[in-house]
Structure 1
Amino acid sequence: MPEPIEDVTFHDEDWYAEELADRHFVGCAFHRVDLTEATSRGAVFTGCTFGDVRFNVSRHTDSAFTRCTFIRCNLFEAEFTGCKLIGSTFDRCDLRPLTVTGGDWSFVTLGGADLRGARFTGVRMREADLSGADLTGATLTGADLSDVQWRGARLSRADLRGSDLTGLDPVAVQHSGTVIDAVQAVTLARALAFDIRD
């Protein structure tokens, strides 16, 4: 890993299709930077701020964006594979359609986000904030969704099979047509204080 770039502000830069392999940024700010079709592998961004940054069709593998803030960023068709976004916040970002495979998105703030049709598979999302998020038709399968903040979330037609739904109050979300498996059905029935017997 090279020496980190610390506390630098990048304005209006064209990083189109840039390869960010093993780059390391700490406390940096990125404003109106074009990262369209950029790729990162093993890159690390710690405590960075991204404002009006274009991540369109970008691909990120085994990279870390920890405690970062994304404001009004465009992540159209962005893909994250095996990435860590622990403690990061997304504010007024365009997140459709987003694909996340594996990795750790615990404590991420996505409150009120438009995540219709997004795909989260095998992701750790413990204690993430999804309150008020629109997850209509989204896929959240094989994910650790324990203790997620769900209040007001829209889960209609979402596929939640194989995910840990500990802490999900079915009454607090919209769930028409939500797909779950038999084990999850028992978990949710217990959350509603049903007495399950053979």
Structure 2
Amino acid sequence: MITITCQTGEIIELSLDSLESADFSRMALHRAIFTNKKMVGASFESADLRGALFDMADVKSCDFSRARLMNAVFVQADLRRAGFRGSGLIGANFDGADLRGADLTGADIAFATFKGADARGATLLCERLTEADMSEMIYDRSTIFSEGFEPPLSLNR
């Protein structure tokens, strides 16, 4: 049995042995706390994760496609190869996160922050890319940005 605590005080109990490769698709996990959790390969496809905390979590290869992640916190999370296709990431915080190889195709990232995030090899074909804060974000030639977006040269490492 796995217990997930939410910032609201709500407790969610799941009949799972592990969070790794778990299926949270379409679940209501508003303001859930996943801080420091190891959830490699889990699916959050179309889940409600508004305000959820994933800071310092190991969420490599997780599927967040079409998830509602407004104001979610991924500070210093390991998001290598994670998928965020079509997700709502408005106001999400990715500061210091490892986004190498992540796919944010079609994600709305308005007002999201990526300060110091490592986005080398990531696909950032996002909606409202110019409204996100990418100061000090690390990227390279393999990082794919939305057409017409010119990242500041100072970000290139």
On the 8 A contact 1:9/1:29 being kept in 2, the answer is no
Offset, 1:28? 2.6
Structure with greater contact order relative to length (CA < 8 Å, sep ≥ 6): 2
On the 8 A contact 2:129/2:146 being kept in 1, the answer is no
Offset, 1:100? 1.3
- 1:40-51 pair list within 5 angstroms: 40-51=44-55
Matched, 1:124 2:128: yes
Aligned to 2:36: 32
**Greater strand fraction, Structure 1 or Structure 2:** 1
Q: Structure 1 residues 122 and 65 mapped into 2: Cα distance closer, same or farther (>3 Å)?
A: closer
Letter of the 1:86 counterpart? I
On the 8 A contact 1:7/1:26 being kept in 2, the answer is no
Q: Percent identity?
A: 23
Aligned to 1:141: 146
Aligned to 1:61: 65
Structure number with bigger Rg: 1
Aligned to 1:160: none
On the 8 A contact 1:8/1:27 being kept in 2, the answer is no
On the 8 A contact 1:133/1:152 being kept in 2, the answer is no
What TM-score, normalized to structure 2? 0.79
Offset, 1:34? 2.0
Aligned to 2:154: 152
Question: Structure 1: any 5+ residue segments left out of the alignment?
Answer: 157-198
Offset, 1:38? 0.9
Matched, 1:73 2:107: no
Offset, 1:151? 8.1
For this pair of structures, how many residues does the alignment match? 146
On the 8 A contact 2:108/2:126 being kept in 1, the answer is no
Aligned to 1:102: 106
Matched, 1:90 2:98: no
Letter of the 1:141 counterpart? S
Which is further off, 108-117 or 118-127?
A: 118-127
Letter of the 2:86 counterpart? G
1:66-105 C-alpha deviation (Å, 9 max, x unpaired) = 1111122111111111101100111322211211111201
CA–CA separation in structure 2 for the residues paired with 1:91 and 1:121: 19
On the 8 A contact 1:46/1:65 being kept in 2, the answer is yes
Aligned to 2:25: 21
On the 8 A contact 1:122/1:142 being kept in 2, the answer is no
Q: Structure 1 residues 115 and 65 mapped into 2: Cα distance closer, same or farther (>3 Å)?
A: same
